[in-house]
Amino acid sequence: MPTDTSADKNIFERRESEARSYCRNFDTVFTKALGSELTDAHGKTYIDFLAGCSSLNYGHNDPDMKAALIEHISGDGIAHGLDMYTTEKARFLEAYEEIILKPRGMDHKIMMTGPTGTNAVEAAMKLARKVTGRRNIVAFSNGFHGMTMGALSLTGNAGKRGGAGGGALTDVTHFPFEGALGDDVDTLAQAEMMLDNSSSGIDAPAAFIFEPIQGEGGLTAASKEWMQGVERLARKYGAMLIVDDIQSGCGRTGSYFAFEEAGIDPDMITQAKSLSGFGLPFAALLIKPEHDIWKPAEHNGTFRGNTHAFVTGRVALEKFWKTDDFAKEVQEKSKILTEGLQSIVDIIPGARLKGRGLMQGVDVGSGDNAGEICARAFEKGLVIETSGADDEVVKVLAPLTTPEDTFRKGLDILIESAREVSTSTKMAAE
């Protein structure tokens, strides 16, 4: 029997909350997806340069993950296990230990926080405060760490913070991220000066938290020197070093963790998005053993035992991370992306490249320009979004597995869209 792919879009307007967002920019009903492509109810195919906001690093419906999941479900495998011992959780933990932790000399415990990244951030905040006995946490301008109240207090974006409705977003000190005050300003030196000053009004921090690349904050990438500097400050002040690798991790920059090039040793690492490999809800907090001082059930969550995600997450690790071949492929595609985006920089006066790896974009100067480029690209069959405080960055988050010909086709659409917007903007100015 054929599948009914029809859907009345009026149901979304009539019944879904006004909080919905992505669908407002991609105004069609999608019916299926495979690899790096989406198909809508009209049969139109789109190249995906959004990848579930980096939740689909390995593409849609990876055949090996899908087969393993179908086999698990067909055999009446556990779907929901709370935090009870299950075969599939054991297999995931063993794979993560052997493929990710041991080769990197890491001994972190893995705390299943489920189901989303903000849950991992909340757990990290609580644990940092529990370990140190302090409340203040240092975060950075333009950072994004989640939408629940604790994680939102770390987040810099005024629009996101506005959703708190006047609720208290407290016990956080925001310092400028690298480059926020210009390339020649050492933002960490300023932070250190304030923390050293007993009259600054800033309490000793429980933790420092940052993103290696600011996914929602405009794709500003921290240099390895800056990341090392944050680690130095954390050690100096006896604070926990927390790296939020939720959007930038799982290979997006060419290494499994986006901070690896800096050689730093975080006390805690938040992971989610592509951790399941298949787009299933799965978040975790990596914790150094000496800081894992939780009492049983002191932090828990109903959906931390999403066994389906353990199945696909294990397959993702075994398929893509047992050797460095996949990382090298990502690094090569990153060069193609940089070259393609440079073409847009050359088209639009004042535009500049942002990010690194397969987490790059172009700051085109305004949210209007970036939004128009993305809208035109969508009309031509490309799904892509914006980033930044004013949505001024056109942001590429293609699946890491995107075939080169598809990747180049998507870039061609993006370049053509940028050229059209640049031309129309010049004509309007004249």
Kind and range of the H or E element at 380?
none
- Domain identity same for 157 and 289: yes
Same domain as 358, residue 255: no
Mean pLDDT, residues 255-259 taken together:
99
Is the Cα torsion angle 333, 338, 341, 346 positive or negative in sign? negative
The closest alpha carbon to 325, from 248, 264, 401, belongs to 401
| Same domain, residue pair 285 and 345 | no
Q: What average pLDDT does range 315-328 have in this prediction? A: 98
Q: What is the pLDDT of residues 92-102, one digit of tens each?
A: 999 999 999 99
> Tell me, what's the pLDDT at 331?
97
Report residue 76's pLDDT band, with 50, 70 and 90 as the boundaries.
Answer: very high
Same domain, 144 and 233: yes
Q: Is residue 244 part of a domain?
A: yes
Q: What is the mean pLDDT of residues 389-403?
A: 98
Residues in the chain: 430
Looking at the fold, whether 177 and 214 belong to one and the same domain comes out as yes
The pTM score is: 0.96
Q: Which of 261, 294, 320 lies at the terminal end of a domain, its last residue? A: 320
Q: Are 149 and 271 members of one domain?
A: yes
In tens, the pLDDT along 328-371 reads 999 999 999 999 999 999 999 999 999 999 999 999 999 999 99
- Dihedral over alpha carbons 283, 287, 289, 294 (to 10 degrees): -70
Q: Give whole-number Cα distances, 41 to 1, 8, 45, 212, 222, in Å.
A: 17, 10, 10, 38, 41
Give the pLDDT confidence score for residue 429 in this predicted structure: 57
Model confidence at 224: pLDDT above 90: yes
Q: Are residues 84 and 136 in the same domain?
A: yes
CATH number where 140 lies = 3.40.640.10
Q: Name residue 287's beta-bridge partners.
A: 109, 268
The answer to whether residue 224 is domain-embedded is yes
Same domain, 164 and 239: yes
Tens-place pLDDT, residues 168-185? 789 999 999 999 999 999
| Alpha-carbon gap, residue 135 to 172, rounded angstroms | 8
Same domain, yes or no: 132 and 154: yes
The answer to whether residue 72 sits within a structural domain is: no
The answer on 187 and 93 residing in a single domain is yes
CA-closest candidate to residue 327, choices 278, 275, 257, 274: 257
- 1: confidence class by pLDDT, cuts 50, 70, 90: very low
- Of the candidates 392, 374, 331, 277, which has an alpha carbon nearest to the alpha carbon of residue 46? 374
Nearest to 205 by CA among 122, 137, 127, 123: 137
CA-CA distance, 80 to 240, in Å (whole number)? 32
Rounded Cα–Cα distance for residues 299 and 84 (Å): 15
**2 found inside a domain:** no
Strands 172-175 and 137-140: parallel
Residue 5 belongs to a domain = no
Instruction: Output the pLDDT for position 2.
Output: 42
The CATH number of the domain holding residue 38 is: 3.90.1150.10
> In the predicted model, is pLDDT for residue 303 greater than 50?
yes
Query: In this structure, is residue 68 part of a structural domain?
Result: no
Please tell me the predicted confidence (pLDDT) of residue 163: 87
**Cβ neighbours of 34 (radius 10 Å):** 15
**Which of 320, 336, 368 is the last residue in one of the domains?**
320
Q: What is the distance between the alpha carbons of residues 25 and 7, in angstroms, rounded to a whole number? A: 18
Contact present, 36 and 398 (Cβ < 8 Å):
yes
Specify if 66 maps to a domain. Answer: no
Residues 222 and 129 in one domain: yes
Residue 272 domain boundaries: 78-320
* CA distance linking residue 47 with residue 289, whole number of Å: 42
**180 & 295 share domain:** yes
Distance CA 397, CA 251 (A): 12
CA distance 268 to 208: 10
Q: Which residues in 280-318 are b (16+ Cβ under 10 Å) and which e?
A: bbbbbbbbbeebeebeeeebebebbbbbbbbbbbbbbbb
Task: Give me the chain's average pLDDT, please.
Answer: 96
Helices 307-320/87-96 angle, 10° precision: 30
From CA 38, how far away is CA 22, in angstroms rounded?
14
Residue 144 included in any domain: yes
Q: Give the integer Cα–Cα distance in Å for 124 and 117.
A: 11
Q: Which of 283, 299, 320 is the last residue of a domain?
A: 320
Domain count, the chain: 2
Percent residues over pLDDT 90 in the chain: 93
Residue type, 137: I
